[in-house]
Amino acid sequence: MEILNHLNSINDFNEAKQVIPGGVNSPVRAFKSVGGTPPFIKRGEGPYLIDEDNNTYIDFVQSWGPLIFGHCDKEIEAVVIETIKKGLSFGAPTTLETALAKEVISIYEGIDKIRFVSSGTEATMSAIRLARAYTKRDDIIKFEGCYHGHSDSLLVSAGSGLATFGSPSSPGVPEDFTKHTLVARYNDIQSVESCIQISKQKGKGIACVILEPIAGNMGLVPAKKEFLESLERLCKQEGIVLILDEVMSGFRASLNGSQNFYGVNGDLVTFGKVIGGGMPVGAFGGRSEIMNLLSPQGSVYQAGTLSGNPVAMSAGLVALKKLKNNPEIYNELELLALRLTEGLKNIAAKFGITLQTCVRGSMFGFFFNQNPVENFEDALKSDTELFGKFHQGMLEKGVYFAASQFETGFICVGMNEVMIDEVLSKAKEVFLEIGAYGK
């Protein structure tokens, strides 16, 4: 196996651990589930990352999705520099916020108004608060394996994966904070119905159901069309607010995210990632009758000093306009994603390894799993040890995949068939090495 020089990254990681818990500012970056030392990145160029040891990697993480045009896109870079020269932040309204709001609303059906925040966690947390105020109910339903940020009421485990009240999955989260969170099984409408009945028996019922229509945090696991349509009907029937978390899939899976695949519109939709063009940003939007409850128009309080930050707004505005003017980008990126995943699956099969793959637009995922993955319970049956060996092998050959079996990969502008074929050639070498050392 080829071995890259990682000396600088090793030293940087050891130094970081002295002053940052675990040496990282977000857990998956520590590479704990795949082993080895995380490369410390110095810069990005289009589809590539360059680390502190000057190793170059083909980057399939792309900052976890937002960089659909790759690193250092010239147009986004130019407008960010121009905006920075006018000021980093004002804590006051700007016309950039209105312009970006209009772009999102023009693309997403069912959204009348939108509010910008600084992260996806803020977006989902605020949307849930708004839904509770609108319905005057406390209980919420989330799905096992769907991640909606690290706010307390959403950090719950699902037990069997059937209808159950959530128990905290992180120390520091009081049970009182999660007692109103029920957890259902993804792609299982009966488990949702059970949650609704349990909530009715103990109180007023469910305020909202929140889910990723294209789940990207248990690996890539899209909702089934019939499941999402049934969920939409059920929520309307029960007066429940349906929140679609498109922080990852919004403007990534397609121009209008999951709507392109399902035709289902949430009462509220949360965004992040792409709408900031790589800058920190989040947003939530929906029907006027719900959004108008927000302060200062209504009484539901939500605020943020850096919400609508002008630098993030300008970057997002350019990114969305580029996507809106060039919708064929999605088809081109999807073809590359299919070339990659089908190639990986075929190569793995030649070595007796079963690989489950999935593509939604420029998003892709693969599981070392004997069976199709439709929910988190299925995903947990994947061979994480084999994934770790594959990840390390590919990293040493200059291919940067997400450092977890339960994450999603992304294709960006600047990648091409030659690059994908180069990755597949390296994958073949890694599978051969894995076979030589045993699974």
What amino acid positions are annotated as catalytic residues? 147, 245, 273
Please give the DSSP secondary-structure letter assigned to residue 39.
P
Instruction: Give the three-state DSSP class for 273.
Output: helix
Contact 271, 104 (CB under 8 A): yes
Extract the tokens encoding 401: 């995949």
Vertex 23, ends 68 and 247: CA angle to 5°? Answer: 30
According to DSSP, the residues that pair with 183 across neighbouring strands are 142, 164
- Note the Cα 417 to chain centre separation in Å: 25
Task: Specify the residue for token string 């939530």.
Answer: 284
Helix axes 74-84, 310-325, angle to 10 degrees: 150
CA torsion through residues 90, 95, 97, 100, sign: negative
Judged on CB neighbours under 10 Å (0-12, 13-18, 19+), 42 is middle
> Which H or E run contains 38?
none
According to DSSP, the residues that pair with 57 across neighbouring strands are 49
> Cα separations (Å) of 52 from 4, 63, 395?
12, 17, 15
In this structure, how many other beta carbons lie within 10 angstroms of the beta carbon of residue 20? 11
According to DSSP, the residues that pair with 269 across neighbouring strands are 244, 285
Strand order in the sheet with 206-211: 113-117, 282-286, 268-271, 241-245, 206-211, 139-143, 181-184, 164-165
Extract the tokens encoding 403: 């450092």
Residue type, 192: V
Closest CA to 163 of 137, 139, 136, 193: 193
> Cα separations (Å) of 377 from 42, 49, 182, 380?
37, 33, 17, 5
* Upstream peptide bond of 296 is cis (omega within 30 degrees of 0): yes
Judged on CB neighbours under 10 Å (0-12, 13-18, 19+), 64 is buried
